Amino acid sequence: MRDAVIVDAVRTPIGKGRPKGALHDVHPADLLARSIAALVERTGIDPGIVDDVIAGCVTQLGEQALNIGRTALLAAGFPDSVPATTVDRQCGSSQQAVHFAAHTIIAGGYDVAIACGVESMSRVPMGSDTPDGTDLYGSMFGARYPNGIPNQFVGAELIAAKWGLTREQLDEFALSSHEKAHRATLDGAFGNELVKMDELSVDEGIRAGGTLESMARLQSPFVDEEASRLYPQIEWLLTVGSSSQISDASSALLLMTSQKAKELGLPIRARVHSAAVAGDDPVIRLTALIPATRKVLGNAGLSIDDIGAFEISEAFASVPLAWRAETGADISRVNQWGGAIALGHPVGASGGRLMTTLLNTMEATGSKYGLQAMCEGGGVSNATILELVD
């Protein structure tokens, strides 16, 4: 029976997604090419054997348009014969790229594939593909949701209200994310996953030394009078301190069958054990990772207690806290080296970034199983379980 295994996984350091960020001057195609080229350099594979490159990218506009996966692989020096496609499942785009690659390998369509992702949010800002006045949904969708679909900030506040989360809980979680990421950086935990770059050597957004007192002084920049009228339960508890950061980065994973890995003499780091996608209420937007987690565990025949390491989207602090309340996961196993609140959230690259970090965390902790789940625009989610291979 065919399987899909991960031979290697890399990511660039994550830069601040601002004009003064360390990676702002790197074109997004070049940024993705750095990760793709690093896979070839680290594994020594002939890039000509890659059957397909599947890239995740959310804002496919301007410099990120025209199938950036294909542009990037050619920029990385791959032969003309290697094809590519670019997919958008919002924040889970590069995790979906892994799913597509793994499923096609298992089905016999590929022997070798690269799943990757990129987002240069400083050069191609989030929302630039939806200019003011754009009708995003049409009349039939609008009839079903007459109050419209609020933005993600309102969705995150609705989650905080629904699960009774306090400002202190949200701030404590955010501080913990920065503390874990800072400690992991000092300990060299990310060393095996980072692509060497002259522009940036470590993740740029980590802020150490914060306190609950300093966090409490931050005010919500998301307050919206119309949202408060429609959703009076909202208390506007989230701030920039408890939200993920706009970022620039890329990530890439090399997948193949275990048989192919043995033929090439490559070590197998993990097997893609199970994968699932799920949907949930598009109004609250960010909760589908809860049913996706249940679904992937059911597919795998595992319980939440079987999982030794989790990488859970930190779009906002309310998301993983609500997920944990519903799943009962051991919080000490969640985002053990920090998450997007500290490291950043380069949306098209984040799924691959989380999976790369998950793989390294599993190896460092000796966890047989690891689970990743992402919240994604539109109220959908990817969930994946990896299994270390002895």
Active-site annotation holds for 375: yes
Q: What angle do CA 197, 198, 202 make, to 5 degrees?
A: 60
Q: State how far the alpha carbon of 221 is from the alpha carbons of 130, 228, 246, in Å.
A: 21, 14, 15
Dig out the tokens for 160 from the structure.
Answer: 């905080």
Q: Is 57 annotated as catalytic?
A: no
CA-wise closest residue to 97 among 82, 78, 117, 111 = 117
Beta strand segments in 226-329, E: 247-256, 270-279, 309-312
Q: How far apart (Å, rounded) are the C-alpha atoms in residues 21 and 121? A: 10
For every residue of 315-327, DSSP letters joined together read: SBTHHHHHHHHHH
Residue type at 16?
Answer: K
Catalytic-labelled residue, pool 57, 91, 99, 182: 91
In which residue are the tokens 């779009």 written?
Answer: 315
Q: Pick the catalytic residue: 99, 178, 182, 345? A: 345
Torsion over CA of 363, 106, 2 and 386, rounded to 10 degrees? 20
Distances (CA, A) of 58 to 28, 181, 232: 12, 25, 31
Cβ atoms 283, 144 nearer than 8 A: no
Q: Are 119 and 348 in contact (CB under 8 A)?
A: yes
Residue 134's SS3 state is coil
Candidates 178, 182, 273, 375; catalytic one? 375
For the annotated catalytic residues, the residue numbers are: 91, 345, 375
